[in-house]
């Protein structure tokens, strides 16, 4: 938003879930602005005063019929994008950029798959990210733990990964969000192995000693 000078409106159906990612968000406010982004609570009777030039459905959400109708009435149709999860699976290369015409309205949705190959959508990043990375690599620093952000479903085989963290010679801090990822971790950490782990004051952080 800042880099490209665009106005961004973010609709969220659960502001409490957004707050850990953006602490300045107030879950009690239906409309607010945080870091230059307008944030609105998504409800069934939400009022939309305008249709955006670019409409992004994130992670399989579906736009309501009344908003689709408003999009279809625009003289210049919005760019409609379905943002999928980041994956390294090869099938995503063939799905990235695919068009999905609406069955009854003059609208076309395009699938965007972030990924690691030239055929995928690539990885979105800030323009100064690599320069900041290089600065941190060359700057003298003290021994720091490896920090990992874990995302998975509750049925994912995370046990081997967690055991590798535990057995690593380098300290590891694994940030685990609530929900399915935390359930997967908790199912692996039986009473017999809890002594090998250290939890800090945050319920979503585990440290492998």
Largest CA distance in the chain: 64
Look at residues 96, 112, 128 and tell me which one is the last residue of a structural domain: 112
Burial of 73 (0-12, 13-18, 19+ CB in 10 A): exposed
* pTM value surpassing 0.85: no
pLDDT at 206: 56
Distance of alpha carbon 185 from alpha carbon 181, whole angstroms = 6
Based on the domain organization, do 154 and 192 belong to the same domain?
Answer: yes
Based on the domain organization, do 100 and 18 belong to the same domain?
Answer: yes
Distance of alpha carbon 86 from alpha carbon 96, whole angstroms = 11
Q: What is the mean pLDDT of the chain?
A: 85
pLDDT at 203: 46
- Phi, psi angles (nearest 5°) of residue 96: -65, 130
Q: Sorting pLDDT into bands at 50, 70 and 90, what band is 192?
A: very low
Please report the sign of the dihedral spanned by the C-alpha atoms of residue 163, residue 164, residue 167, residue 171: negative
Based on the domain organization, do 152 and 61 belong to the same domain?
Answer: no
Number of domains composing the chain:
2
DSSP classification of residue 119: T
Based on the domain organization, do 104 and 147 belong to the same domain?
Answer: no
Instruction: Read off the pLDDT of residues 33-43 as tens digits, 9 standing for 90 and up.
Output: 998 899 999 88
- Phi, psi angles (nearest 5°) of residue 38: -75, 125
Q: Sorting pLDDT into bands at 50, 70 and 90, what band is 190?
A: low
Look at residues 95, 112, 129 and tell me which one is the last residue of a structural domain: 112
Q: Sorting pLDDT into bands at 50, 70 and 90, what band is 72?
A: very high
Q: What is the mean pLDDT of residues 79-88?
A: 92
Instruction: Read off the pLDDT of residues 128-143 as tens digits, 9 standing for 90 and up.
Output: 999 988 988 887 767 7
pLDDT at 195: 46
Based on the domain organization, do 146 and 88 belong to the same domain?
Answer: no
Residue range of the domain that includes 55: 9-112
Whether residue 164 is contained in a domain is answered as: yes
Based on the domain organization, do 89 and 161 belong to the same domain?
Answer: no
Look at residues 90, 112, 134 and tell me which one is the last residue of a structural domain: 112
Whether residue 96 is contained in a domain is answered as: yes
Q: What is the CA radius of gyration of the chain?
A: 21
Based on the domain organization, do 102 and 63 belong to the same domain?
Answer: yes
Based on the domain organization, do 95 and 151 belong to the same domain?
Answer: no
CB < 8 Å & 24+ apart, contacts of 160-169: 162/188, 162/189, 162/206, 162/208, 165/208, 166/193, 166/196, 166/197, 166/208, 166/209, 167/208, 168/208
pLDDT at 73: 94
pLDDT at 178: 77
Q: How many CB atoms lie within 10 A of CB 48?
A: 13
């Amino acid at each position: 938003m800042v880099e490209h000078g665009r106005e961004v409106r973010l609709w969220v159906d659960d502001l409490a879930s957004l707050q850990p990612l953006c602490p300045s968000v107030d879950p009690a406010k239906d409309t607010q602005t945080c870091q230059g982004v307008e944030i609105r609570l998504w409800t069934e009777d939400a009022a939309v005063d305008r249709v955006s030039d670019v409409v992004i459905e994130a992670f399989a959400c579906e736009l309501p019929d009344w908003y689709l109708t408003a999009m279809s009435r625009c003289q210049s149709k919005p760019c409609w994008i379905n943002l999928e999860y980041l994956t390294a699976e090869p099938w995503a290369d063939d799905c990235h950029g695919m068009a999905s015409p609406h069955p009854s309205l003059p609208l076309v949705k395009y699938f965007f798959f972030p990924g690691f190959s030239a055929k995928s959508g690539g990885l979105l990043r800030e323009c100064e990210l690599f320069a900041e990375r290089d600065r941190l690599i060359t700057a003298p620093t003290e021994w720091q733990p490896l920090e990992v952000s874990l995302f998975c479903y509750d049925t994912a085989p995370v046990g081997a990964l967690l055991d590798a963290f535990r057995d690593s010679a380098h300290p590891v801090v694994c940030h685990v969000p609530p929900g399915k990822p935390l359930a997967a971790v908790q199912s692996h950490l039986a009473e017999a192995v809890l002594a090998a782990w250290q939890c800090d004051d945050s319920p979503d952080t585990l440290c492998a000693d």
